[in-house]
Structure 1
Amino acid sequence: MDYAQRRVHPSDVEAAMEAAPAYPSKYVMLNNSNSSSVRPPPQRRNIPRYHSNHHHSQGHCCLKCVCCCLCFFIVVIIVLASVLAVLYVTLNPKMPQYNVESFEVNAFTMDPDFSLYTEFVVVVKSNNPNKDIAFTYGKDSSVVVAYSDSTLCSGKLPAFHQPFQNTTMIPVVLTGKSEFGSGLQEALMDNRETGRIPLLVIVKAPISVMVKSLALRQFMVNVNCSLVVDNLAPNKRVRILSSTYTYAFEGITLQI
């Protein structure tokens, strides 16, 4: 190819420029007269990152709920304690008192086969000192008289209602036949000769508490009475030389 063929004519350049597509300029040149023109974006601009506070807000809500629950329970406990304190001061509750008022022997027979038949009549005195609290004694009660860990006879209390500030005498008939060994018979005979026979009277009774006309729950009362009597001769007056009482109310034990 010769030089004449490689020569570019001005008309050809102008035609090529007119045929080329027009692209917008990437940048806008600013001048002093146009201050509102948009500046070109920087080449390496750092995009700000925004962290979510969702987990922090969730934990804060849980903590508020726990605090509210604790405050609620504390308020409930304070209110209940205040109500109980007011009731205790107003009612002034006192425990019922029991003691063995009298002890009678109707039968006390020893057989040659080392068996013993007994019949006692025990009068239990029940005192209710409360002004606004009454007691109702259920039918599932029991009374046992024992000597040296051996049962002599047994019976039960009658079911009855004891009103406010009341004293009731409860006669209980106790009968039984028990096997006594020679050792127990000899010990009992020795006690009869000395005039000091130790006995244990065990009373168990279900009691329902009533505050004025409102019936509350039922609980079991256990009364252990350690007696020392002078004799066990039938149809003879028996003197109670000493007595010690132990009360148990649903696991709470008191000794008098």
Structure 2
Amino acid sequence: MADNQRIHPAVPVATSATAPLVPPSSSVSEKGTQVHRASPLQGGGPVIFAKPRKRKGCCCRLLCGLISLLLLILILIGIVAAVIYFVFQPKLPQYSVDRLQISALRLNFDLTLYAQFDVKITATNPNKKIGIYYEKGGRLSVWYSNDKLCEGSLPRFYQGHQNTTRLDITLTGQSESGSTIMAALQQQQQTGQIPLDLKVDAPVSVELGTMKLRKVKILGRCSLVVDSLSTNSMISIKASNCSFGMKL
């Protein structure tokens, strides 16, 4: 019996050590960022694997908000303009040159041209619900080609609904190169058709009902053709073409 017993050698039991969470060639920074350190055989410096950051859409949201606000403002302006148009039906005032008389047109000793024109203008407000305040600073001028002959001030006044107002305005001025301008005017007078431009620059305030709005400018130009430039005589206006606009 004793001979039949076999004694088996003891097999050493391998104890499994817990595997490290970070490879030996790696280390963990204080903020939890895994840093892989290359072995000397591999060469190169440490390679850092950073956590991806989330992109913030603050700028995009701000831009979308500004665009939406701008569109809303434009829509409100359009609605207000449409209401004003359909309720008040605004129309530009109308002007006509009734009379033009030359009181003086002569050369001075310094060869400047002195001119004095007396102009009668009719201004009509065709609006039923809009009044017009003509403010200080309005100017009326007479031009020959690109040379301003004379100018004068427009009076301050209020023009009510569907009102017609007649204005008598005296224009005076001196122009350089008077001899050249006078020679050209005399040559034109021989044809009996002298082109002149009457320009209007009038700051006005518009009254809608009982509300007075900010000042705007009425800019106009009347292209005239007269038969003569004789002083102290009535001048016949052979043609008149006027156009006007409003500048905010």
Residue of structure 2 in register with 1:246 after alignment: 243
2:214 is equivalent to residue 217 of structure 1: yes
Residues 113 and 179 of structure 2 are in contact (CA less than 8 Å); yes or no, is this contact kept in structure 1?
no
Residues 107 and 179 of structure 2 are in contact (CA less than 8 Å); yes or no, is this contact kept in structure 1?
no
Gapped runs of 5+ residues in structure 2? 1-53
* In 2: Cα distance, 1:241 partner to 1:111 partner: 30
**Structure 1 residue 80, shift from structure 2 partner:** 4.8
Residues 135 and 203 of structure 2 are in contact (CA less than 8 Å); yes or no, is this contact kept in structure 1?
yes
Gapped runs of 5+ residues in structure 1? 1-54, 252-256
2:201 is equivalent to residue 198 of structure 1: no
2:139 is equivalent to residue 142 of structure 1: yes
* In 1: Cα distance, 2:198 partner to 2:70 partner: 46
Residue of structure 2 in register with 1:43 after alignment: none
**Structure 1 residue 82, shift from structure 2 partner:** 3.5
In structure 2, do the counterparts of structure 1 residues 213 and 189 end up closer, same or farther at CA, with 3 Å as the change threshold? same
* In 2: Cα distance, 1:233 partner to 1:62 partner: 72
* In 2: Cα distance, 1:157 partner to 1:117 partner: 20
Q: Paired residue for 1:231, among 220, 223, 228?
A: 228
SS of aligned partner of 1:242: strand
AA at the equivalent of 1:196: Q
Q: Percent identity?
A: 37
**Structure 1 residue 112, shift from structure 2 partner:** 6.0
**Structure 1 residue 117, shift from structure 2 partner:** 2.1
SS of aligned partner of 2:190: helix
2:85 is equivalent to residue 88 of structure 1: yes
User: TM-score, structure 1 length as denominator?
Assistant: 0.66
* In 2: Cα distance, 1:63 partner to 1:191 partner: 67
Residue of structure 2 in register with 1:114 after alignment: 111
**Structure 1 residue 107, shift from structure 2 partner:** 1.6
In structure 2, do the counterparts of structure 1 residues 186 and 83 end up closer, same or farther at CA, with 3 Å as the change threshold? closer
* In 2: Cα distance, 1:63 partner to 1:215 partner: 41
Q: Which has the higher helix share?
A: 1
Residue of structure 1 in register with 2:164 after alignment: 167
AA at the equivalent of 1:232: L
Residue of structure 2 in register with 1:26 after alignment: none
Residue of structure 2 in register with 1:184 after alignment: 181
* In 2: Cα distance, 1:62 partner to 1:175 partner: 61
Tell me the C-alpha RMSD between the 2 structures. 3.1
User: TM-score, structure 2 length as denominator?
Assistant: 0.68
Larger Rg: 1
* In 2: Cα distance, 1:154 partner to 1:70 partner: 47
AA at the equivalent of 2:243: T
